[in-house]
C-alpha cells in the first residue's frame, strides 16, 4: 500500500484514517475536494469550531497547503537530516565552563584475578589498571568477551552483529602500541559494544526494526571514532527496541539476565543486558525519554544520561532531534566518567553539540557538595521505597547533610512529550506514508506505527506552543537545580524523568538493591546542566560504600 500518493495531505494537520474512510476520501482512495464537512471533522479533532463563512474562506488556503505538502514530499529526506531549528537547553545567560583541566581518576591498585569470568565482571577502571601495568593484554581480554558473547548472546537475544576479526586485530595492534610505549589512556585496549543505531561502515545498522534489518550506512558515528582513538575495542553491536522503543526488536525480545522471563526494558536493551551479564565492561546507549535509565534499572547496571548537547549524535538514528542523548552504560559511576571524558565535546557534524568542560577529579571533596532529595517521593509504602531510603541512610552515615526539596513547576511536562512524538513521526515519515510500519513487530495501540500515525494530526501551532512552554520549564528547572549540586530521586517517581529529559539535565542511574521479584532496582542522581562531575563524585561515594553494583546474575556468573 503506497500512502505517499493516496494520503490526503491536509491530514498532516488533522484527520485520522477512520475519518477519511467515512468521508469517502480515505487512505488507499483518491483524494477528494476539501469541503466544509471535512473541515468540521478536522476541527473537532483539535477542539476548535468555525463558522460557515470561516470554513468557506479556508478551503482555498487548505487546498494550497495540501498541494504544498505534495511538493514537499517529492524531496526524499534521510533520517540523518535534521531540522533547521536546533534545540538548545541553556537558559538565557547560562554558559557552561569550557576550561578543561587534567583528569585525576584516582585509580586503585589491582591484582589480576585467576578466573576469566571474574575478569569479565571487573569494572573498566580496574581493567584499565591491569592493561596499563602489563598484567593483562587487550587480546586476552577481548577473547574472553568474544567467547562470552558467543556463549550467552542467543540466550539474552541481545546481539545484532559480532565484530570478532576486527576486534582481535585492533586489540593486537593496541598491545603492540603499549609495548612500544604508546598509551592512549584508561580505555586503551578495553572492549565495548554499541547500541545498533550507530553507523559503522561495513556493518548492518538495523535500528532494531524489520524494514531496516539489512541497512548498511557507509559512515562512522562520531562516538565510535572517538572511542577508537582512545583505544577502545569495538566487539559488537547490541540490540535496541525497534526504532528506540522498548526491548522488542525484529529478532525477538532482549532478556534481563536476572530474570529470563522478563524483558531487558528499553530501548538500550542489548547494551544494558550485555553489560549486566558480563559480555562487555561498558556499552553505549541512547536516551530520549528513559532509554538509558530504564534498562540500567532493569539490568542492575550504572547508566549515565549526559546533558543534551554534550555528546555528538552524528551517525546515530534520529528519533527526536530535541531530546535524543548519547551516554555510557557500565558497572560503575567512575567507569561512566572515564567513557564520558572521551565522548565529550562539540562536533561540527552535529549542530546541537555545545562545547563544555568535564572536570572530574578524585581529589574534589564530595562532602562539600550540597545534596538535595525530592522528599515527597521517599514517603509512603510503594514497592521498592525501602531500597530508595537505604541510599539516603547510607549518605547520612557518611556524614552527608541532605536537604529536602520539592519538585514543583508551573508547567505540566506530560503534554510536552508530544514534541517527541511529532519529531519521531517526521523522522520516520516514509515509514508511515509508504506503509512500511506494517513490518514492525509491535503493532499494539502504544507501539510506533499507531503513535506515528496519530502524531501527524498534532497541529504545528500546538507543537510551537509546547516548545514555548518547554522554554519556561527549562528556566524553572535551572532555578531549582542551581541551588543544589546534586538532587537524589527515585528513578521513576513523579514527572522528574519526563521533565529532565525535556530540559536536557544529566542523570546518573545506580543500582540500589532488588525487588520482590528478584529484579534489580535503582536510584537516580540529578545535577544542573553540564555538571556531570558532581554526579560521578556522589555516585562513586555511594558505590564505594555499598555492594549493589558488584552483584552478578547467577546464571551468567561462570
Active-site residues, by number, are 195, 267, 291
Ramachandran region, residue 231 (left: φ > 0; alpha: ψ -120 to 50; beta: rest): left
Report yes or no: 238 and 196 within 8 Å, Cβ to Cβ.
yes
First to last CA, the chain: 50
Name residues whose C-beta falls within 8 Å of residue 195's C-beta, 6 or more positions apart in sequence: 237, 238, 240, 267, 268, 270, 271, 283, 284, 285, 286
Phi, psi (degrees; rounded to nearest 5) at 489: -150, 145
CA within 13 Å, CB half, 346: 9
CA distances (Å), origin 52, targets 19, 25, 49, 204, 494? 20, 22, 10, 55, 45
Coil, helix or strand for 345? Answer: coil
- Per the CB < 8 A criterion, the answer to whether 514 and 554 are in contact is no
Give yes or no for a contact between 233 and 138, defined as CB atoms under 8 angstroms apart: yes
What are 530's three cell numbers?
553540564
Q: Give, as one character, the DSSP assignment of residue 282.
A: -
- Cα separation, 150 vs 146, in Å, equals 6
CA atoms within 13 A on the CB side of 500: 30
Amino acid at each position: 500500500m503506497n500512502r505517499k500518493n493516496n494520503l490526503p495531505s491536509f491530514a498532516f494537520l488533522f484527520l485520522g484514517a477512520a475519518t477519511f474512510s467515512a468521508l469517502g476520501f480515505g487512505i488507499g482512495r483518491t483524494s477528494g475536494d476539501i469541503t466544509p464537512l471535512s473541515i468540521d471533522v478536522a476541527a473537532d479533532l483539535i477542539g476548535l469550531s468555525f463558522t460557515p463563512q470561516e470554513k468557506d474562506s479556508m478551503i482555498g488556503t487548505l487546498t494550497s497547503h495540501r498541494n504544498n505538502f505534495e511538493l514537499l514530499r517529492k524531496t526524499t529526506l534521510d533520517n540523518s537530516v535534521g531540522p533547521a531549528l536546533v534545540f538548545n537547553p541553556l537558559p538565557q545567560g547560562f554558559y557552561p565552563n569550557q576550561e578543561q583541566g587534567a583528569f585525576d581518576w584516582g585509580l586503585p591498585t589491582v591484582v589480576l584475578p585467576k578466573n576469566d569470568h571474574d575478569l569479565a565482571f571487573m569494572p573498566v577502571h580496574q581493567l584499565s589498571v591491569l592493561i596499563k601495568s602489563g598484567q593483562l593484554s587487550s587480546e586476552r581480554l577481548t577473547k574472553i568477551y568474544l567467547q562470552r558473547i558467543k556463549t550467552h548472546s542467543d540466550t539474552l537475544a541481545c546481539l545484532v552483529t559480532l565484530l570478532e576479526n576486527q576486534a582481535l586485530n585492533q586489540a593486537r595492534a593496541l598491545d603492540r602500541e603499549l609495548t612500544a610505549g604508546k598509551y592512549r589512556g584508561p580505555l586503551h585496549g578495553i572492549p565495548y559494544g554499541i547500541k545498533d543505531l550507530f553507523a559503522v561502515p561495513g556493518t548492518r545498522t538495523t535500528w532494531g526494526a524489520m524494514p531496516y534489518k539489512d541497512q548498511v550506512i557507509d559512515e562512522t558515528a562520531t562516538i565510535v571514532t572517538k572511542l577508537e582513538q582512545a583505544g577502545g575495542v569495538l566487539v559488537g553491536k547490541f540490540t535496541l527496541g525497534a526504532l528506540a522503543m522498548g526491548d522488542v526488536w525484529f529478532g525477538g525480545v532482549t532478556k534481563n539476565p536476572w530474570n529470563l522471563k522478563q524483558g531487558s526494558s528499553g530501548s538500550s536493551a542489548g547494551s544494558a543486558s550485555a553489560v549486566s551479564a558480563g559480555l562487555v565492561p561498558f556499552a553505549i546507549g541512547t536516551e530520549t525519554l528513559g532509554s538509558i535509565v530504564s534498562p540500567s534499572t532493569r539490568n542492575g547496571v550504572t547508566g549515565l544520561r549526559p546533558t543534551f548537547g554534550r555528546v555528538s549524535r552524528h551517525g546515530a538514528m534520529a528519533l527526536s532531534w530535541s531530546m535524543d542523548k548519547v551516554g555510557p552504560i557500565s558497572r560503575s559511576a567512575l567507569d561512566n566518567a572515564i567513557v564520558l571524558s572521551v565522548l565529550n565535546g562539540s562536533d561540527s557534524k552535529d549542530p546541537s553539540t555545545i562545547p563544555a568542560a568535564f572536570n572530574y577529579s578524585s581529589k574534589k571533596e564530595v562532602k562539600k557538595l550540597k545534596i538535595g532529595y525530592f522528599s515527597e517521593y521517599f514517603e509512603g509504602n510503594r514497592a521498592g521505597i525501602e531500597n530508595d531510603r537505604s541510599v539516603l541512610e547510607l549518605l547520612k552515615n557518611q556524614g552527608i547533610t541532605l536537604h529536602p526539596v520539592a519538585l514543583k513547576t508551573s508547567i505540566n511536562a506530560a503534554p510536552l512529550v508530544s514534541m517527541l512524538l511529532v519529531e519521531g513521526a517526521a523522522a520516520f515519515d516514509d515509514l508511515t506514508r509508504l506503509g512500511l510500519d506494517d513490518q514492525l513487530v509491535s503493532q499494539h495501540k502504544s507501539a510506533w506505527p499507531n503513535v506515528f500515525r496519530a502524531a501527524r494530526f498534532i497541529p504545528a501551532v500546538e507543537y510551537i506552543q509546547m516548545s514555548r512552554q518547554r522554554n519556561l520549564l527549562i528556566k524553572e528547572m535551572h532555578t531549582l537545580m542551581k541551588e543544589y549540586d546534586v538532587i537524589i530521586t527515585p528513578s521513576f517517581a513523579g514527572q522528574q524523568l519526563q521533565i529532565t529529559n525535556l530540559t536536557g539535565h544529566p542523570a546518573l542511574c545506580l543500582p540500589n538493591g532488588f525487588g520482590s521479584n528478584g529484579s534489580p532496582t535503582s536510584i537516580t542522581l540529578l545535577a544542573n546542566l553540564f555538571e556531570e562531575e558532581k554526579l560521578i563524585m556522589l555516585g562513586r561515594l555511594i558505590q564505594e560504600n555499598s555492594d549493589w553494583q558488584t552483584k552478578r546474575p547467577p546464571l551468567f556468573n561462570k
